[in-house]
């Protein structure tokens, strides 16, 4: 047994343990979340209470303009030049509690085009136009809003006429971190498989060393 454990301390096995463990660690929380009873965006709009770790699933009803954006660019260290900044994430305001509060939706660049369209439709609807027709299906986990976004959140709410005291007394603020349910449900098993690969590699080395010992004893 001791020899087998020592065989696990090879470069490939250690690499597998680190990668597999990281995959499980970063996905297990959302994996568990997907088995909760989800809250829909219609329910959020009706004022259903949520907390950190709540699972939100369904079509978005309304969306407002982003409270902030995250841009990325590439910089050439030799010349000092850099590419044009590209928006990689938008943090959209989603009305909840009959529109009296907002929750921030963290949207990846793949959803930005549709989210912008829904936000424009929502704005037109608020001005007396037709109800939004763009459908965006979301799976997400509720978390506390990132501290880096708090300033933008307060500024956004103040633009809508809320005072600092009113904002401070609101629940949260919360954010919805979106994810793919199918991917999240696979990841812990993928991480476990990677760990098993590391164990298998250690067992292979252990068997190889055993054969060498037996061959040496036979001489």
Paired tokens of 109: 């660049």
- Give the SS3 label for residue 180: coil
Does this model's pTM top 0.85? My answer is no
Region 153-179: mean pLDDT is 82
Give the pLDDT confidence score for residue 180 in this predicted structure: 81
Dist CA 78 CA 72 (whole Å): 19
**In angstroms, how far is the first alpha carbon of the chain from the final one?**
25
Q: What pLDDT is recorded for position 101?
A: 78
The mean per-residue pLDDT over the stretch 79-88 comes to 60
The β-bridge relationship of strands 137-144 and 174-178 is antiparallel
Calculate the CA 44 to chain-centre distance. 20
Confidence band, pLDDT 50/70/90 cuts, at residue 184: confident
Mention every residue, 6+ apart, whose C-beta is less than 8 A from residue 33.
53, 54, 55, 141
Between residues 110 and 10, the one the model is more confident about? 110
Question: In a 3-state reduction of DSSP, which class is residue 34?
Answer: coil
CA 191 to chain centre: 17
Instruction: State mean pLDDT over 18-26.
Output: 89
CA-to-CA distance for 206 and 188, rounded, in angstroms? Answer: 27
Residue 76 confidence (pLDDT) above 60: no
Q: Is the peptide bond before 173 cis (omega within 30 degrees of 0)?
A: yes
């Amino acid at each position: 047994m001791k020899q087998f454990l020592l065989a696990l301390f090879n470069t490939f096995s250690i690499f597998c343990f680190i990668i597999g463990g990281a995959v499980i660690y970063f996905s297990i929380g959302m994996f568990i979340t997907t088995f909760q009873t989800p809250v829909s965006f219609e329910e959020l709009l009706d004022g259903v209470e949520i907390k950190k770790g709540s699972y939100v699933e369904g079509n978005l009803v309304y969306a407002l303009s982003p409270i902030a954006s995250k841009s990325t660019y590439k910089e050439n260290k030799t010349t000092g030049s850099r590419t044009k900044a590209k928006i990689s994430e938008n943090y959209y305001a989603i009305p909840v509690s009959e529109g009296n509060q907002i929750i921030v939706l963290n949207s990846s660049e793949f959803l930005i085009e549709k989210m912008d369209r829904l936000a424009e439709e929502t704005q037109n609807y608020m001005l007396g136009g037709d109800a939004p027709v763009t459908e965006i299906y979301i799976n997400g986990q509720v978390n506390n809003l990132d501290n880096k976004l708090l300033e933008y959140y307060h500024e956004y709410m103040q633009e809508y006429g809320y005072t600092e005291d009113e904002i401070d007394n609101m629940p949260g603020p919360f954010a919805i971190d979106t994810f793919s349910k199918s991917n999240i449900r696979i990841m812990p098993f993928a991480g476990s498989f990677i760990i098993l690969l590391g164990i298998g590699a250690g067992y292979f080395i252990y068997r190889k060393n055993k054969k060498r010992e037996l061959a040496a004893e036979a001489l």
